[in-house]
Structure 1
């Protein structure tokens, strides 16, 4: 029997890894083991793993054992894992710039985070045996930033995108689960985490939406990055949002698969995070907020969306802006953003499964399973 270690740094990376793991864990020749890896945003990971009923080993134990394969979507502590390593992106490709180096001398050009030698190498060795890239453009960036990792690169598309598209036929059921009436429009507020996030900068957004939009015509939901929830604490976040919740705001907890809300939405108001990008891939109109994209990598899907999406103006009436947003995007806009997310649409699971079985030196069993749709959203407040 082969043992595969799934290294989970954060709740979002863990949810992303499940899109891949669920396609190998049915094989009785494979034992899947999870470990919560140390991370500044690792709060909630252990409880989430327990809710899955997964076999979990502590990080200290995981770093002392040898496994047949490790799969992760982040880099922290990766050099301590004794196994061949497959590393996936944990967002819509590689859309952020690495932090600016400090010190004397000229300011170096900031590199794309996750495709830089600082993340990918340790003591002159490439950490990933298989470095999963979503697009051919990422391979070009890798060639410029860390050419020694090119031999490990695999352009495999985006399993998150593929599952999103495979679930689109359940839109009506997702909307029912979110308590959206047939004649209502669902407005989804999507914020990433950090000082440059929508949640940190747009205190006026939620009250203005609730004040200006007729609740008979609109339902408003908020989807906050798990980093917001666990960085501040659930109790604090719910307290901050309590007035808006009483006024009708639906708040989706971090355990909910956000893709159900994106599929059910009629419009997304977002920032530079991944969720608005995936919304555009699903042909959901997006409005963005000014000044929140300073760390976005040029030519990424995030940058394309920031360039093409209309800006929400809080000083103007909001409802007309929601209606006009749908007319702002055309097929070329949606296609360009999707192409920046995946070069292998509907192929990610097959390509990743091939890579996993190759690393495990096992023949693949039978035919590939169809993608399971995104689960119905259960937890909302």
Structure 2
């Protein structure tokens, strides 16, 4: 085995005596969020990051990890070793690994919006055999503490209100709007509308596919689709379904959606996180679909203030800026997350500055 840990590691490694950090990537959604966090461990020769993809993960997950050049270890091997820190953006499998676990949300808010599922801050999600699994439960909003306190009070001492590093990177990118528009091929004065979709049949992609064609015929249009759509149906099929949308910019699931949101004049979407992030960043939005969601969730708050889509009217005319608070620590997530990881690693933090970086330019 070629891992930088385990029996015989001292004969394999070039940089010795590192703390070992295991990054769990069970699907693309979690993986994209974790890529926002890993740079906080950069430039530290005391830390070695190793990634694992749990058995049964969707197609494309291992390829996503490999494309980022991360050291990897098979899931069954990861379960045989103890790590100094485990970083996850999903609860799946966190009770099986050995080491202090920091778990982040993989969308807007640690509390899920859909009514059909638990909100994710409940005892069933956070405990196994009467034990709170995560050593650190990352929350985006102060009011999520009240939800956690009601649903799983024994987990409150493990909670860390860090804000949202994905949102911080989005807002850090806002000053570079012209750069993102130019890279997407949007001419000065041209209107760009981005249509976003979560997954399931109640999403915009699942229920309003003809609208994609109609919108692309009206204005420059970009499509941001939930990674689960790509992983379940396949990239070829997604593009085939959108093949008759003239000039449509299809944003890949790995990266690019934040750049496209910043470049947009309006966003039309459903109850998913991308619509919520867009509204919170001050981009005008209009809601195409909102199924039953949990009362007072971010999706519920957005539905109460965003205009509903009128298919007979141009989208850009309908979109409005609506108030939505998505983080209680705007601009501060990077510092809180790094401090939390180094606390769990039992290492002193590096003395260099720590801040969220703007997202890369997405070439259409």
Task: Name the TM-score, length of structure 2 as normaliser.
Answer: 0.91
C-alpha distance in 2, partners of 1:134/1:262? 21
Q: 259-268 vs 366-375, which deviates more?
A: 366-375
* Corresponding residue pairs, total: 346
Whether the 8 Å CA contact 1:38–1:77 is kept in 2: the answer is no
C-alpha distance in 2, partners of 1:284/1:97? 23
Aligned to 1:80, the other structure's residue is in SS state: coil
Deviations 1:241-276 (A, max 9, x none): 1111xx221111112231101111110010010001
1:52 aligns with 2:68: yes
Deviations 1:111-135 (A, max 9, x none): 42x1011111111111111001111
Deviations 1:323-345 (A, max 9, x none): 2423xx3xxx42xx12xx11111
Corresponding residue of 1:302? 299
Whether the 8 Å CA contact 1:223–1:252 is kept in 2: the answer is yes
Per the TM alignment, residue 37 of structure 1 is displaced from its structure 2 partner at its CA by 2.4
Deviations 1:78-133 (A, max 9, x none): 11101100010111002324636xxxxxxxxxx42x10111111111111110011
C-alpha distance in 2, partners of 1:303/1:179? 34
For structure 2, the residue ranges without an aligned partner over 5 or more in a row are: 1-17
Corresponding residue of 1:107? none
Aligned to 1:255, the other structure's residue is in SS state: coil
1:373 aligns with 2:361: no
Q: Which runs of 4 or more aligned residues in structure 1 lie more than 6 Å from their structure 2 counterparts after TM superposition?
A: none
Task: Indicate which of 12, 18, 33 corresponds to 1:16.
Answer: 33
Per the TM alignment, residue 38 of structure 1 is displaced from its structure 2 partner at its CA by 4.0
**1:210–1:166 distance in 2 versus 1, CA, 3 Å:** closer
Whether the 8 Å CA contact 1:19–1:159 is kept in 2: the answer is yes
For structure 1, the residue ranges without an aligned partner over 5 or more in a row are: 101-110
1:281 aligns with 2:285: no
1:65 aligns with 2:81: yes
- What RMSD, in angstroms, separates the aligned Cα atoms of the two structures? 1.5
Per the TM alignment, residue 371 of structure 1 is displaced from its structure 2 partner at its CA by 2.6
1:258 aligns with 2:257: yes
Deviations 1:173-209 (A, max 9, x none): 1111111111211100100111221100112211221
Whether the 8 Å CA contact 1:188–1:269 is kept in 2: the answer is yes
Matches within 5 A, 1:173-192: 173-192=179-198
Matches within 5 A, 1:31-42: 31-38=48-55, 42=58
Task: Name the TM-score, length of structure 1 as normaliser.
Answer: 0.87
1:363 aligns with 2:348: yes
1:325 aligns with 2:331: no
Matches within 5 A, 1:37-186: 37-38=54-55, 42-93=58-109, 94-97=111-114, 99=116, 111-112=118-119, 114-186=120-192
Whether the 8 Å CA contact 2:267–2:319 is kept in 1: the answer is no
Aligned to 1:119, the other structure's residue is in SS state: helix
Q: 367-376 vs 24-33, which deviates more?
A: 367-376
C-alpha distance in 2, partners of 1:192/1:284? 18
Deviations 1:118-166 (A, max 9, x none): 1111111111110011111100000111111111111111111111111
Aligned to 1:131, the other structure's residue is in SS state: strand
Whether the 8 Å CA contact 1:2–1:68 is kept in 2: the answer is yes
Corresponding residue of 2:333? 348
Per the TM alignment, residue 313 of structure 1 is displaced from its structure 2 partner at its CA by 1.7
Aligned to 1:242, the other structure's residue is in SS state: coil
C-alpha distance in 1, partners of 2:136/2:177? 35
1:232 aligns with 2:233: yes
C-alpha distance in 2, partners of 1:147/1:277? 28
C-alpha distance in 2, partners of 1:12/1:298? 24
Per the TM alignment, residue 59 of structure 1 is displaced from its structure 2 partner at its CA by 1.0
